Structure 1
Amino acid sequence: MPSLVAQNATNKISGLVVDQKGEPLIGASVLIKGTNIGTITDVNGAFALPSSSSSSVLMVSFIGFTSKEIPASGQNLRIVLT
């Protein structure tokens, strides 16, 4: 018999990380500030993270580019690194 597990309601933060030409940045680091929750972007520059707060801030970095801190609004984000 399957069991049910209660889970906290979470928001999903997702988006793309691209360079100034609009090319995807594969393997860019995306972290929720103040937590150990993070991921890297896929071959399309896409990422998705769970978030329990609507006021999360994302820290986005990639070698050779300036890091950014972006407020995560829960919408699909497009983050441009330069």
Structure 2
Amino acid sequence: MRILYFAWLRAKIGTAEEEVAPPAGVATTGDLITWLQSRGPNYADALANRAVVKVAVNQDYVSMDHPVAPGDEVALFPPVTGG
């Protein structure tokens, strides 16, 4: 699974993207975020407030209960603002 991080999430986590192999119990985007939070303090801090983390799976916006699979591309980013 390929994870992409954008904006301040990238800065806090310390990488723009990575390949991961989550454990078998990770079935949804919410499960994935919970697992990522357990990977260290920088992940826990960046992903602490799920209300400000948006998720896309294979370039489609999804909810926290959307299923994920090993070949997916998951993008995590803050809400987009304009002006």
Considering the TM-score relative to the shorter chain, is it more than 0.5? no
Higher helix share: 2
Over alpha carbons, which structure has the higher Rg?
Answer: 1
> TM-score under structure 1 normalisation?
0.37
> TM-score under structure 2 normalisation?
0.36
Higher strand share: 1
